[in-house]
Amino acid sequence: MKVGIIGIFLIFITWLAPGQTVLEGSEVSKRGDLRLMFYNLENCFDCFDDSLKLDNEFLPTGERHWTWDKYQRKLNRISKVIMAAGGWEFPDLIGLCEIENRFVLDGIFAHGRLNKIGYKMLHKESPDRRGIDVALLYQPEIFQPLHTHFIPLIYPNEKESTTREILYVKAKLHSSDTLHVFVNHWPSRWGGQLKSEHKRLAAARLLRQKVDSIYQESPKAKLLIMGDFNDYPENESIKSVLNATAVSGKIKKQQLYNLADGFVRKGSIGSHKYQGKWGMLDQFIVSGNLLDKSAVLYCKPDGMSVFAPDYLLEKDETYFGVKPFRTFVGYRYHGGFSDHLPVILDFWRK
């Protein structure tokens, strides 16, 4: 169900301060015909104990002193970000990561006007030891799933998956196009980038195998890959193994193009800041035929943006400029939104 312009305008008047930045490098009025969003929610846990997961730190008595009030505040804030990020209408497709379970997911979309939209949810409890999952939310009149598969990631020399899966969805769009969507949250850099790199290389190989199998079956397939890859566009996992490159020269239909490649070098804010440096851990990667302007539905090489309103940022006292207004700094509750900023991608209809 689409929400009228007046309704969304009231949300913006209520939520955004005058003169506030809405999209880094873009304006809400320039929204495309189809808007996609990806957001890492930074440890969006409930405050109840799950005996099968390592979630004790997110209990009222845990190290983070995570209470019901703090949890509800987090859900309310995330829901407002989703509403604002849509522009004059809500996002059509939303990828999320670092959510604990379906209870949390339902809670986010019960706040504000989100419960009026009728989003459908694709989610599954992952084998991740901490219990964090990925999910895809969609408006059913625009996006109709035909096939869904949570692809398990099993590291070399291990017998079973111990991390979140890659969510794959084949769907029919309202434009009659078929779209293959992947939602990713690759293994973290915990313990150091080099020490953990083999895990992300394994994720990249798994994803590349699935991409190749789709192309083998359907050479003209349109692919959209989104997620927090815990690697940057120039890292081996993405640049070499997945073979996702920056957009340049003649577009090849079966080539994967990383719309986040070069984003920060162009002077734009990134989706994540580490030790004073902005970077793009959160990325949109598309197949070349989604960049074909003669197609019914397409995206532009510069169609990706970082959603960076003032309220998602705070002054960076240690380094310079601003940084994401996060929920926790270490184990200390900070009261913000997330340590990542949402990323946006617009598609256009011919």
Residue 89's pLDDT band (cuts 50, 70, 90): confident
User: Which pair of tokens denotes residue 262?
Assistant: 């070069």
pTM listed for this prediction? 0.91
Q: Name which of 118, 123, 115 is nearest 96 in CA terms.
A: 123
In a domain, 4, yes or no: no
Residue 266, pLDDT score: 76
Q: How many CB atoms lie within 10 A of CB 204?
A: 24
How do strand 244-245 and strand 256-258 relate by DSSP bridges?
parallel
Q: Is 16 helix (H, G, I), strand (E, B) or coil?
A: coil
Does residue 344 have a pLDDT over 60?
yes
In terms of residues, how long is the chain? 350
Residue matched to tokens 């193009």: 257
In a domain, 7, yes or no: no
In a domain, 186, yes or no: yes
Helix-then-strand count for the chain, H and E: 5, 19
Spatial separation of the C-alpha atoms in residues 89 and 5, rounded to whole Å:
7
In a domain, 76, yes or no: yes
Residue 194, pLDDT score: 76
Does residue 177 have a pLDDT over 50?
yes
In a domain, 80, yes or no: yes
Does residue 192 have a pLDDT over 60?
yes
Mean pLDDT, rounded, for 45-73: 94
Residue 348's pLDDT band (cuts 50, 70, 90): very high
Does residue 7 have a pLDDT over 70?
no
User: Which pair of tokens denotes residue 81?
Assistant: 């970000």
How do strand 93-99 and strand 34-44 relate by DSSP bridges?
parallel
Residue 232's pLDDT band (cuts 50, 70, 90): very high
Amino acid in the structure at residue 61: T
For all residues of the chain together, what is the average pLDDT? 89
Mean pLDDT, rounded, for 36-44: 97
Lowest mean pLDDT among 86-90, 148-152, 326-330: 86-90
Q: Is 173 helix (H, G, I), strand (E, B) or coil?
A: strand
Residue 195, pLDDT score: 78
Whether 209 contacts 202, CB under 8 Å: no
Mean pLDDT, rounded, for 170-181: 92
Spatial separation of the C-alpha atoms in residues 320 and 327, rounded to whole Å:
20
Could you say which DSSP state residue 339 is in? S
Residue 88, pLDDT score: 79
Residue 117's pLDDT band (cuts 50, 70, 90): confident
Can you give the residue range of the structural domain that contains 196? 20-349
Does residue 112 have a pLDDT over 90?
no
In a domain, 9, yes or no: no
Between 76 and 25, the higher pLDDT residue = 76
Could you say which DSSP state residue 234 is in? T
Whether 309 contacts 83, CB under 8 Å: no
Q: How many CB atoms lie within 10 A of CB 145?
A: 15
Give the CATH number, domain containing residue 231.
3.60.10.10
Instruction: Determine what percent of the chain is predicted with pLDDT higher than 70.
Output: 92
Residue 314, pLDDT score: 97
Between 274 and 20, the higher pLDDT residue = 274
Residue 21, pLDDT score: 39
Q: What total of structural domains would you count in the chain?
A: 1
Residue 113, pLDDT score: 81
